[in-house]
Chains A and B, each alone.
Chain A
Amino acid sequence: MGALAAGSVRGNLYMYDTNKAGGSTGFGTEELRTRVRAGDRVLWNCLALECEAFVGIAGIEVDKSVIEPERKVYPGTDVAYWIGTVKKDDIDVVPYRIRFLVGTRTEPITTTLSPTLVG
């Protein structure tokens, strides 16, 4: 709702991953730094804080030599997630951008601050 009202996810986006023990940082911010290694499968999905609101991922823009996320659906549903496999080690810091579908807006809203994958 905040993102819809502001037309931006700035201040309205909270990102987390499940690799805290592996060294990820920036939990609960728009600049999540996810620690990855070659071969790791990274899956993105999103939830709206208001369960009556719709939110989805329209695309993830990232260096394709590191990871190529693609859209898939949970079998038997139209609920989508994005998934990709990290192609190499020693990637240093790789920023990426997520384009969100929010509510009934036709134009996606893109992240302004940058989450990253870190090697």
Chain B
Amino acid sequence: MRNLIAKLALAAAVLGGGLGTAAAETANIWVRADGSNFMPRIVDAYNKAHTNQVKLDIIPNAEIIPKYGAAAAGGTAPDALSLDLIYTPSFAAAGQLEDITDWAKSLPYFASLSPAHVKTGTYKDHIYGLPFSADASVLIWNKKLFKQAGLDPEKGPANWAEIAADAEKVNALGGNIKGFYFSGNCGGCNIFTFTPLIWASGGDILSEDGSKATLDSPQLRGAIDLYRSMVKKDLVPAGAQTDTGANFFAAFAAGNIGISPSGAFAIGALNTQYPDIDYGVTFLPGKDSGWSSFAGGDNFVVTKGTTKLPVVKEFLDFAYSLEGQTILAKYGSLPVRGDIAKDALKDLDPRYQIAAEAMAKGKTPYSVVFNDLINSANGPWTQMINEVFFGDDVDGAIANAQETMQSIIDQAPQK
């Protein structure tokens, strides 16, 4: 029934568009709060230059998925949304998204769009999502505190031992100053910043196609020991244990944390909101050498059956222009078009180059049950990281998480 109504509405819109004059249309677009810095600016720029308009709603990170699902069920979904890229497979599998394969492939710059995004935006060889914003995980350190602690402020840690040693030296400054920070009760934060430590050392937590959980590895064990040892030495503020992500960025921005794994978004946010903090950006290192990164960000997806497809396409095309990519880069996202990334970044903070490089070689897990496995505050991943970083029974926690994750994967609807 709803489908029928949607089709009728579509038919009416097509007829209306064919007969009437090209009246300005307004498309409704949602973005999660992570995009609240760049999204309003790019929408403003688009609205100023076009007759068609975009109306933007910013939704809290944790609410956007259930809210969109409820809106879609009630027929009030936005025309498009900027969706955390890891959700694209499950949304596409649910039949919620418009197939934009033909349009995507007709774009002259299609081949240079971020590969990690396009991979997660593809479901059964059809394209349902295209890159919008990009964020790579990196390690940031506070240069002022490094200098005070007698460390070289221009050289960030390049392996696990250096992370622990540098954090300990900064921590020794005492007072409010702590060596290291991470959000110890936030699954999303840690898939973003903790798993690259494992990847860089040659391990992984999921098999390539997402059909097997592979938590029982020496690389995961080693990375856990790194965090545990820092917790044990009191290098991490007590609040980390219960931080569900609220302080993921804020803790470092307060200026009394030596080292923190973070994302490229932090560069834009620190530069615009905390210009006093002097910080460096480096890769998330492997145990002895090497590095890796989580290629994150948002895919732009279109709600199935929307009548505003032309507006949505026009907006996305604008976002992919040099002007659009420059606005994105200036306000906290990495460019998603490889061929003009250098131009978009050229007048900006050179630290973006590190993040852009991390993005280009970044990795993104692929799973249709990512939310249940990883991001859910009550899912196995979140529970495990909290237990292994702060609890007593590391082996039990890993075994338990491995079993729960595998059973969630096995019970997922096979489509």
Asked if A and B bind, the verdict is no
Chain B contacts to A: CB under 8 angstroms: none
Chain A contacts to B: CB under 8 angstroms: none
